[in-house]
Amino acid sequence: MTPAASLRARLRSSLPFLAASLILGGFGCPPPNPPGQAEPAFQFRSLGEIVGAIQANAARMNQALWSDSVTTTARVRDESGREHVYNLDGNFLFERPHNLRMDLRPGLGEQVMGIGSNAEDYWVWIEPELRTMRWGRHRHVGKACAKKIAIQPEQLISALGMIGIPESTEELLGPARESGRLHDKLKYIRRTPQGEFLAEREYWIDRAAPFLIRVVQFRDSLGRVSMSAFLDDYRPAWSDGPFVPHAISILWPLEGGSFTMSIGRIRGVAAEKIAARSFVRPDRQALPRAIETIIQVDAECDALEGSTAEAPSR
């Protein structure tokens, strides 16, 4: 069993008791152990201590992360509901907070999948069978006018557990804590323009040192889990560097998609050594010839912004 699969199995086995603990044990208090079970080596910490440890780990990422030994399995569904499975190898480059690039290929073959993000945009292109690139803008993520894509880079970055957790804003409120036997769960809600408050995301944090993120969940506007990421095999990226997960499993249950990633050796790269075009969204000329279609998944959002900007003031 892989590390990620082992983690999922452990979490599933603990979920019934964890859920009961959250209801019966109250917020902020360690729940009692089941009869006959040894006390786990956890620590009770304040919300500030929990958040501080996560952000301190992320702050140690003062270089970009690079690996040329990444193994992935992607399961995606096309518009007709047909599933496509890709087992690919490649490289991985990440620079906080939004710069991501993954170039994936079957063994020693040509690149057939690209996953990327920069400060403004995110994109995924898949050449075999789908022959399509889809892209969107970070500022439109979560809006009703933005369509989904098979592998969502903006969620992938959060799922990597490498950027810490978000600060509270007028729209994204949190975190609030629920304490379970093995994890502290940090929850965020989103305030909509209509004044509604919707569950938005959760982070499950180990209650034992070094207090790492183990699960990241996003929810849609109906409260359904839209993404679950399981993080395992944490190791320091370099001497005195941040702890980084090397085994990541992501599920998009509503779309029936999944993405697993196993990262080999990671090393740090200074920002000045990264090529200027590493995180540029590819255009038609930069894509393989077999890519037939380029789709902006949130073009409607851009159009709505334009119509708002052009509307006469009253």
Would 21 be classed as within a structural domain? Answer: no
pLDDT at 3 over 50: no
pLDDT digits (tens, 9 = 90+) for 103-157: 999 988 889 999 999 999 999 999 988 899 999 999 888 788 988 887 888 778 8
CATH number of 278's domain: 2.50.20.10
Of 6-15, 129-138, 214-223, the one with minimum mean pLDDT is 6-15
Taking only the tens place, the pLDDT of each residue in 233-288 is 999 999 889 999 999 999 999 888 899 999 999 999 998 999 989 999 999 999 99
**Residue closest to 214 by CA, chosen among 1, 11, 28, 39:** 11
pLDDT > 50? residue 15: no
Q: Is 104 exposed, middle or buried (0-12, 13-18, 19+ CB in 10 A)?
A: buried
Please check whether residue 42 lies inside any domain of the structure: no
Q: In 10 A of CB 187, how many CB atoms? A: 17
Structural domain including 54 reads 49-309
Percentage with pLDDT > 70 across the chain: 83
For residue 208, tell me if it sits in a domain: yes
CA 21 to chain centroid = 27
What mean pLDDT is reported for the chain? 83
190 lies in some domain: yes
* Whole-number Å distance between alpha carbons of 212 and 243: 8
Q: With respect to residue 298, please indicate whether it lies within any of the assigned structural domains.
A: yes
- Averaged over 5-22, what is the pLDDT? 40
Rounded distance, CA 188 to CA 84, Å?
Answer: 33
- Asked whether residue 276 is assigned to any structural domain, the reply reads yes
25 within a domain of the structure (yes/no): no
**Is residue 314 over pLDDT 70?**
no
173 vs 235: CA distance, rounded Å: 31
CA distance 194 to 269: 44
The predicted structure's pLDDT at residue 23: 29
Residue 231 pLDDT:
94
Provide CB contacts within 8 A for 182, sequence distance 6+: 14, 18, 40, 42, 206, 207
Q: State both tokens at 181.
A: 């036997």
Shortest CA distance to 10 belongs to which of 224, 191, 249, 177?
Answer: 249
Q: What confidence score (pLDDT) does residue 263 get?
A: 94
**Does 35 reside within a domain?**
no
Summarize the confidence of residues 59-84 as an average pLDDT.
91
* Beta-carbon-side half-sphere exposure of residue 44 (alpha carbons within 13 Å): 8
Residue 7 above 80 pLDDT? no
Residue type, 151: I
When divided into structural domains, the chain yields a total of: 1
Entry pTM: 0.80
Question: What is the per-residue pLDDT for 120?
Answer: 94
